[in-house]
């Protein structure tokens, strides 16, 4: 469990993290969401003791990071910034970390296998692609079999297969009862990965609730429904209080955009009426919209409000 209490970090007169308090529970994936510059990386660095907060504190299982004995056995971290010597091989990078924790040398090979880097174990890390570098960072995080994982933008630079792999790994680890705290500015990725979301903007807490609730709070939630029989389905949906708007033009003509009903309920209604569905997809950009809505509020009084307003139209569902 990770607990942040009143965490505050200022660089000069710029406030990076502003009296932030939250708790990250074990057994689920907790997404840490915010636009670039919101203070996500700084918050993680404060939790990990790399930076000192001016106020407040962060603890992991009740202890400050610096007070953990053999910290890599308790906490694994993937930082956004590079933390590998370009001239050192992947195996030696992991070896010195393992040795510092009294872990056996064999552990290096195990995590290299786990992340699929066994064949390049002896290669200098400077020649790694972004994705390989991320895998090496994840290997380092898993080295000590930690119960708590902090991952800062873990899917950055990964190919789609790698993204899926990280997503499954995080869910798997959370399923083992571990605490998984993962930051991202990609809302869609969080929507399919995280069970719980902590949203920050300009260093302040904006939302701390289940992912579903964050999406549901969005006024613009919509579901794309493709059916050969829209005339039968539409009335069923409107009867339940949904508003249905058919897409009139383009390749998607005939598709329905439904708001006000969750995808599950739409599917149930279609099934009960034996209406065939070809597609039933929640519009993931709605989380993006929810997020923009949430952060726009926090930025309203700031100098960046114009930039945020300009960014909102880019997050329309049609773009997904």
Partner 1 sequence: MTTAPAAAPDIRVPAVPAGRAGFGHLLLSEWTKLRSVRSTVWTLIAFVVVTVGLTVLISLAINGAWTGPRSASRDASVIADPVGAVLGLSLALGQLTICVLGVMVISTEYSTGVIRASLLAVPRRLPMLAAKAVVFAVLIVILAEIVVFGSFFVGSAILHSHVHVALSDPGVTRAVVGAGLYLTVLGLFALGVGGLIRHTAGGVSAVIGIVLVLPIIGALLPSGTVYDHINAYLPTQAGQLVAHVHRSSGDLLGPWQGFGVLCLYTAVALVAAGYLLRRRDA
Task: List contacts with partner 1 (CB under 8 A).
Answer: 45, 48-52, 65-66, 68-73, 75, 77, 79, 81-89, 92-93, 95-97, 99-104, 106-107, 110-111, 114, 140, 142, 144-145, 164-165, 167-169, 171-173, 191-192, 282
- Report in angstroms how near the CB of residue 271 gets to partner 1 at its nearest: 18
DSSP per-residue string spanning 20-34: EEEEE-TTEEEEEE-
Looking at the Cβ atoms of 13 and 249, the one nearer to partner 1 is: 13
User: Taking Cα atoms as reference points, which of 284, 277, 281, 271 lies closest to residue 315?
Assistant: 284
Q: Which residues are paired to 59 by β-bridges?
A: 3
- Residue 111 or 132 having the CB closest to partner 1: 111
Neighbours of 123 (CB within 10 A): 14
Minimum separation from the CB atom of position 93 to partner 1 (A): 7
Please list, residue by residue across 31-41, b when 16 or more beta carbons sit within 10 angstroms of its beta carbon and e when fewer do: bbbbbeebbbb
Cβ closer to partner 1: 81 or 248?
Answer: 81
- CB-wise, 76 or 201, nearer to partner 1? 76
User: Nearest-CA neighbor of 258 among 250, 270, 249, 274?
Assistant: 270
Beta 179-184 vs 28-33: how paired, if at all?
Answer: parallel
Judged by beta carbon, residue 192 or residue 307, the one nearer partner 1 is 192
Least gap, CB of 105 to partner 1 (angstroms): 10
Q: Which is nearer to partner 1, 3 or 51 (CB)?
A: 51
**Least distance to partner 1, CB of residue 49, Å:** 5
Cα separation, 166 vs 145, in Å, equals 16
Outline where the chain has alpha helix (H).
40-47, 90-100, 106-115, 130-142, 160-175, 187-193, 211-216, 230-239, 263-272, 285-299, 305-311
Residue that is written with structure tokens 């005939």 in the block: 254
Quote the least distance from Cβ 188 to partner 1, whole Å: 10
To partner 1, the closest distance from the beta carbon of 281 in angstroms equals 9
Closest separation between CB of residue 186 and partner 1, Å? 15
Distance CA 67, CA 79 (A): 20
d(CA 120, CA 134): 14
- In the bound state with partner 1, the residue whose beta carbon lies nearer, of 211 and 259, is 211
């Amino acid at each position: 469990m990770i607990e942040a209490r009143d965490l505050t970090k200022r660089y000069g007169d710029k406030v990076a993290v502003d009296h932030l308090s939250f708790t990250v529970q074990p057994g689920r994936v907790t997404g840490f969401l915010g636009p670039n510059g919101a203070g996500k990386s700084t918050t993680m660095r404060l939790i990990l003791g790399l930076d000192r907060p001016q106020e407040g504190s962060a603890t992991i299982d009740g202890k400050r990071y610096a007070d953990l004995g053999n910290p890599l056995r308790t906490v694994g971290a993937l930082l956004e910034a590079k933390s590998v010597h370009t001239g050192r091989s992947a195996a030696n990078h992991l070896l010195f970390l393992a040795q510092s924790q009294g872990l056996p040398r064999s552990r290096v090979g195990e995590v290299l296998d786990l992340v699929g880097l066994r064949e390049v174990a002896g290669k200098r890390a400077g020649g790694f692609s972004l994705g390989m570098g991320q895998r090496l960072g994840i290997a380092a995080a898993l080295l000590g079999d930690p119960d708590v994982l902090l991952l800062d933008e873990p899917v950055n630079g990964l190919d789609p297969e790698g993204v899926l792999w990280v997503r499954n790994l995080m869910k798997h680890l959370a399923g083992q009862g571990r605490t998984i705290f993962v930051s991202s500015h990609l809302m869609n990725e969080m929507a399919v990965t995280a069970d719980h979301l902590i949203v920050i903007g300009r260093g302040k807490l904006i939302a701390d609730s289940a992912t579903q609730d964050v999406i549901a709070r969005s006024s613009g939630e919509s579901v794309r429904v493709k059916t050969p029989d829209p005339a039968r389905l539409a009335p069923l949906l409107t009867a339940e209080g949904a508003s249905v708007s058919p897409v009139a033009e383009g390749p998607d003509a005939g598709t329905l955009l439904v708001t006000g009903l969750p995808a599950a309920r739409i599917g149930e209604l279609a099934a009960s009426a034996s209406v065939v569905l070809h597609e039933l997809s929640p519009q993931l950009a709605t989380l993006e919209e929810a997020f923009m809505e949430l952060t726009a509020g926090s930025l309203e009084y700031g100098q960046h409000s114009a930039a945020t307003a300009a960014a909102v139209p880019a997050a329309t569902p049609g773009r997904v």
